[in-house]
Amino acid sequence: MSPIRMSKIESGMRVVIEFNEAFNRHDVAGMAQLLSDGCVFENADPPPEGKLYLGKELVAEFWQDFFHKSPEAHMKIEELFGYGERCIMRWKCSWVDIDGKSQHLRGADIFRIRDGVIREQLSYVKGET
């Protein structure tokens, strides 16, 4: 693999890491800076097909609502790798439910990154959301 191609893969992975760091700060503005204007986010919920959000504004609104409902949400990257414009992240998301019990889900996101921003994020979850 050429050094230029490797550099693009590494830069895409850095974007995903930065996006995850903003997620863990619940920094929606920071997350939105890493999204293209016409980004696509496919949430895993509701099963079985999930819900599609088109455009930076709607995706940011989704995350704002998500953090409002899950103020202790934290995403741990379990594995991250890339190839071309694609980056795949295996993750574990933890939170505390309304009864004070610790909960978690595991899943994977497939990202498409171009020109230093996320163009697409497709989320998949093990089990029920």
pLDDT at position 10: 85
Judge whether residue 15 has pLDDT over 60: yes
Torsion angles phi and psi, residue 96, rounded to 5:
-110, 125
Whole-model pTM?
Answer: 0.90
When pLDDT is cut at 50, 70 and 90, the band that residue 84 belongs to is confident
When pLDDT is cut at 50, 70 and 90, the band that residue 1 belongs to is low
Cα 66-28-42 angle, rounded to 5 deg: 55
Domains and CATH numbers, the chain: 3-126 (3.10.450.50)
Span 64-75, pLDDT tens digits: 999 999 999 999
Tokens 């991250």 found at: 80
Q: How many CB atoms lie within 10 A of CB 68?
A: 9
